[in-house]
Chains A and B, each alone.
Chain A
Amino acid sequence: MNLGLGGMSASRGQADEEFFGSAYDQKVILRLLPYIKPFMPLVIASFVSMLIYTFTLVAVPWLIQWGIDNPIRDGLQTATDYKASASQAGEETNLTQLKELLSPHIKILNILFVVFIINAFTNWGTNYLQQYAMQRVGQGVLYRLRRALFGHVQKQSLSYFDKTEVGRLMSRVQGDVGQLQEFAALVVMSLGELLSLVGIVIALLVMDLELGLITMAVLPVLMTIMVIWQKYAKRSFSEIRTRIAIVNAAFNENISGVRVVQSLNRQQRNLEIFDEKNIAHRWSNVIAGRYAAGLLPAVDILTAVAIGLALYFGSKLVGLEEGQLLPGVLVAFVMYVQRFFDPIRNLTQQYTQLQRSMASGARIFDLMDREPELIDIEDAIDMPEIKGNIEFKNVRFKYVEGEDVLKGINLTMNAGETVAVVGPTGAGKTSIVSILSRFYPVKREEGAILIDGIDIRDVKRASVVSQMSMVLQEPYLFSGTVMENIKYNHVHVTDAKAISSAKVVGAHEFIMQLEGGYDTFLSERGANISLGQRQLISFARAIVDDPKILILDEATASIDSHTELVIQTALRKLLEGRTAIVIAHRLSTIRGADKIVVLESGEVAEEGNHQELMDKDGLYAHLYNMNFQSIEDL
């Protein structure tokens, strides 16, 4: 069932995560302990009931042996003796007399029956208890682990998300935690198997040391076969996983891109390529099928050999005299031998799973060890209500060591001003707003950003950012209703307020035309409405809670001019009393700003209003003219 779910991500990523480590990793286990600790009583309960359960299981052949060798044999002996003496005396067998003679043996048999039934009930109860308790523990641990992992990931800065593919993160929180889920089930099962194996070995040796050892002579042979088998089978099984991941990745990509595929007429060719991958997967399964099936004859034959040994040598040891074996022991031996091989087989097959779980565990804790970059300093206070004065003091910033993106930015924005940031691609426009919103940390020695004179690193991040709001170039919505999307994390906002926000940005009209109005469910990333409509909703989302600072990062690139105008008109009203930072490449958006900041390769090249900058005839004037050339040369 788990086949290839990890393969949803690209096949290349899959391949390098498929490594095999040890089946027991002390570090992983130690790290898991704190998560298990709260469930200690359940763990102990489970373990104790497992012990009792194993005991009741191993007791069954023993009880049968005891029954055969004591009451049943005695009864049979009594009956045979009685019949023999009766026929010698030439009398008819007197049934009542025989019954009377047998009654003490029957009584013992009845007692055995009662013990048997008590054993069965104990088995029932402990079996249920051990499974249930272990699952409760397992689920509890996984639940806490997922929560901790998700919370931890939230504390990472954006640079982490820039570097890390979503598929990889998904496979951490889902795939790897899922592997630990398997691990939980496995531990229960393996522990059970191991206990019953130990139980059977003890039972065999206690019943008869010599015969027990002889019977177990096949064990080394089986172990050897298993080790060799394991080596080849493991390779073959991991090959299947790689292959199915490739098949699924191809399927996923070609179907996600089906619009391009059809437009470029690639169906036939793609089917051929897909078929090749599909055949390779089938073939690796056929090979693995041979390995899987190959173990069966070995186990069947070895079982027979062990039973043969038990019968052959057992028959020599059997007798009624002191120190000799009773016949029932042979029955018990055959039963034990038949149960002997299952635990061994299961244990070897679970080895691979153990390795995989450990590797997953190691990856999870690697992630947990990552220092969260966006934590507030210890004595951080809440940001008071923002007035909107922003100051960049000699701020330097880089994403990658050695490649400075911002090289000493000094900038003042006054409360209530609309500031436009322009410049060529790569000048650092988006970086400025990203560090203002603390998407990325700025080191203390690399300048400071102050809002209303307070260094934003000295207050709680959430308390600053929640008073700001941003509209991004690519509108990003969450699956949920339109209403939920507009309110987003401002759950305290009333519906009326949300609707009025939508009206302000001109989204109300189209929302009302949707089938469910504000209750229309937007599927994954709002794919069921157009790009421009998504952007309108994200505008409404940005203003729904009256942000003190509003940032528009190329926000109107995907909206047509008419809608843009509607928004801008609305924003003019909205922006009153708020500080706004606007990044745009459409110059009509920029011209009306109170201040225009022109960036060039990470430095402020020019600053001033439209007229001042045009008069200056510098970079801004150049950009401005270039953008308009195409239309004005008509």
Chain B
Amino acid sequence: MQHILRIIKIALRYKYRLAFAYLSTIGAIAAYIFLPKLFGQAIDSVAEPILAGGKVETEILYPCILIILGLSVIRGGMSYFQTYLAETLSQYVSYDLRNSFYDHVQHQSFAFHDRHHTGNLMSRAITDVENIRMFINMGLVRAPYFIALFLIVAAILISMNWKLGLLSASFMPIVAIYTSSVRLKMRALWLLVQQKMAELSIILQENFSGQRVVKAFASEHHEEDKFEVKNSEVSNIYVEAEKLRASSMSFMLFTFMVAMALIIWYGGRQVMNGTMTPGELAAFVFYLQILALPVRMAGWVVNAYARAASAGERMFEILDAPSPVEERSNAVELENPQGHVKFENVSFAYDGGKPVLRNINLEAKPGEIVALVGPPGSGKSTIANLLPRFYDVSAGVIKVDGIDLREFTLQSLRKNIGMVQQEVFLFTTTLKENIKYGKENASDEQMENASSIAQLSDFIEGLEEGYDTYVGERGSTLSGGQRQRMSIARAILLDPPILILDDSTSSVDANTEDKIKAAMDNSMEGRTTFIIANRLSTVHRADKIVVLKDGRIIEEGSHDELLEKGGIYNEIYELQLRPQDELSSEVSK
């Protein structure tokens, strides 16, 4: 309920639109409810003289027909405004929601995005926003219309003939409640269908993207079996839901026919007794047709309400989620830092899990190159992610130029830290826009310079459209190495005082990597640089090499110092240089 209230509150931002929607609703009802009575009168004015054995004066009908026409014009106009205003109001609300949802999500820390898969967020942005929109239209604007229509028509029927009125109107609420409950049951089934559909789509998605694996294992039959299970589940639940719907819809129509039968049966007697005119009987029949509308829609409204309640819950759950990485209210700008980075006793755990970093003490003096090496899962990338505050430390403090980095505004901090991430992400746009992504106002010259450092110039200039070439969905038209180099160019263009390269050349061949390194040597000058890499050829020239294992620093020093020490670094070095068979026999000893 409180979610519904919050949704209504958003709608109240457009209170004039809402007010006019209600006004036109009232107008539409007023024009509508007189119509059956007028039809009845028209029929009486025809039937009475005939039954009396006379002739019909057609002229008597003129005013009646004219009023019917007039009221219909008014009703049409009012319905226009009602529909139009309800529709646009709902669109304004969904627009607001979509914007704030998007903005909130894009500012959330990485921890949030680790937990919430994009697909999940997408479905909230699509389905939940749409459900809320439906509620604004169906629930907020139309439900009062239906309720008012029902009450007024029921009152008219009872005042016309209370016995017959009660007879025909009394079981309508029961039908409405029945269909609403069926609707809710159906909704549960639909949710199940959706869930199964999502599972089906994961199977499809994985199968299509993983075809190389499927083919390599000749597992087509296995895949078909997996698909088959979900496929038949989807289809069975569907039929279940449709069965429910069919039974409720057919029952509803049935009750109307029974009501109609009762009116004719009982009303017919009344007409014979003279307590009712034939026209009144006809009016009753017409009113009953109007009454059918709100009863039929009751299920829809209840459904819209239930959907909006759960959509609202899901929506506000995200909108209310505080970002674990919050800017302090008195945060200051980080300006032209020297690049002195210091980790003091830093520990970190993802979301209450096991600690990934334990008591890390690490210093990078301005202009130094620090390399982080260690087995997968040792915490190298985590260190890199803590620096731009993609996550916040669980304990300890990270200082830039001697100041806790939580003192700075996020924007200024990140502006000064360039990062080439392990998993490259390119946007579906031109190469140019991708390179300039972090610095749109960069000149073309700067951009070309950055791409030449990343050894991309030859490749890009060889393309027909050069820098204006579109990259496919997420850069799918580029090779792994090319994508990594794009991401390097993007970071270089920022010209940040602090640069982080997270395994950024793993897919680049050794030859090209050498060239990149040589080109970057100039541009790295004066920058504090963190390099994470598996290949020792990438890291050996660092000022300081930090060897991590299980979240702890186990060795630290220059390449030569570490080799001399004969520890784990030396071991890795040996592994990468010496022939495999020789080593293997050593290890198996």
Contact = CB atoms under 8 A, between A and B. Distances in A.
B91 A282 contact: yes
B158 interface: no
B220 A253 contact: no
A135 B215 contact: no
A488 to B, nearest CB: 6
Contacts of B113: 255, 258-259
B198 to A, nearest CB: 10
A116 B377 CA distance: 77
Given A253-B428, A269-B440, A259 B421 contact: yes
Contacts of B142: none
Contacts of A220: none
A127 B377 CA distance: 62
Given A165-B476, A312-B65, A531-B376, A252 B437 contact: no
B180 to A, nearest CB: 19
A263 B209 contact: no
A589 B242 CA distance: 60
A613 interface: no
Interface in B439-475: 439-440, 472-474
A282 B210 CA distance: 38
Contacts of A251: 98, 102, 122, 125
A223 B254 CA distance: 31
Contacts of A412: none
B403 interface: no
A76 B272 contact: yes
A105 B272 CA distance: 9
A476 B278 contact: no
A167 to B, nearest CB: 7
A128 B46 CA distance: 40
A174 B204 contact: yes
Contact of A266 (B46, B212, B377, B438): B438
B220 A155 contact: yes
Nearest to B113: A258
B88 A285 contact: yes
A312 B61 CA distance: 7
B568 to A, nearest CB: 8
Interface stretch (A4-12, A207-215, A400-408): A4-12
Contacts of B361: none
B470 to A, nearest CB: 8
Interface in B218-256: 218-224, 227-228, 231-232, 234-235, 238-239, 242-243, 245-247, 249-251, 253-254
Greatest chain A CB density within 10 A among B53, B55, B95, B494 is at B95
Given A307-B39, A557-B507, A572-B584, A334 B286 contact: yes
B540 A631 contact: yes
Greatest chain A CB density within 10 A among B71, B105, B119, B584 is at B584
A289 B376 contact: no
A9 B204 CA distance: 15
Given A260-B437, A311-B65, A131 B249 contact: yes
18 contacts: A76-B278, A106-B269, A120-B254, A128-B246, A153-B208, A161-B212, A166-B209, A248-B126, A249-B428, A254-B106, A267-B106, A286-B91, A305-B69, A308-B65, A476-B210, A588-B576, A588-B577, A626-B511
B478 interface: no
A56 B43 CA distance: 25
B222 A488 contact: yes
B583 A565 contact: yes
Contacts of A311: 39, 42, 46, 61, 64-65, 68
Interface of A is mostly: helix
A120 B72 contact: no
A314 B46 contact: yes
A120 B473 contact: no
Given A132-B246, A135-B239, A478 B206 contact: yes
Given A124-B251, A158-B212, A260-B421, A523 B117 contact: yes
B377 A530 contact: yes
A173 interface: yes
Contact of A335 (B92, B285, B415): B285
Contacts of A266: 437-438
A559 interface: yes
Contact of A562 (B46, B99, B213, B572): B572
B269 to A, nearest CB: 7
Contacts of B71: 304
A210 B580 CA distance: 100
Interface stretch (A23-31, A140-148, A197-205, A600-608): A140-148
A83 B579 CA distance: 123
A153 B78 CA distance: 53
Contact of A592 (B428, B540, B580): B580
A270 B92 CA distance: 20
Greatest chain A CB density within 10 A among B47, B110, B207, B438 is at B47
Contacts of B106: 254-255, 258, 261-262, 267, 270-271
Interface stretch (A356-364, A442-450, A459-467): A459-467
A51 interface: no
A147 B227 contact: yes
B438 A476 contact: no
A470 B215 CA distance: 10
Contacts of B53: 320
Contact of B47 (A4, A279, A327): A327
B282 interface: yes
B38 to A, nearest CB: 10
A462 B220 contact: yes
B257 A248 contact: no
B77 interface: yes
Contact of A469 (B61, B102, B211, B217): B217
Contacts of A338: 286, 289
Contacts of A315: 42, 45-46, 56, 58, 61
Contact of B217 (A75, A120, A489): A489
A158 B215 contact: yes
B411 interface: yes
Given A315-B61, A560-B534, A147 B228 contact: yes
Nearest to B514: A630
Interface string B26-57: 00000000000001001101110011010110
Interface in B69-127: 69, 71-73, 75-77, 79-84, 87-88, 91-92, 94-95, 98-99, 102-103, 105-108, 110, 113, 117-119, 121-122, 125-127
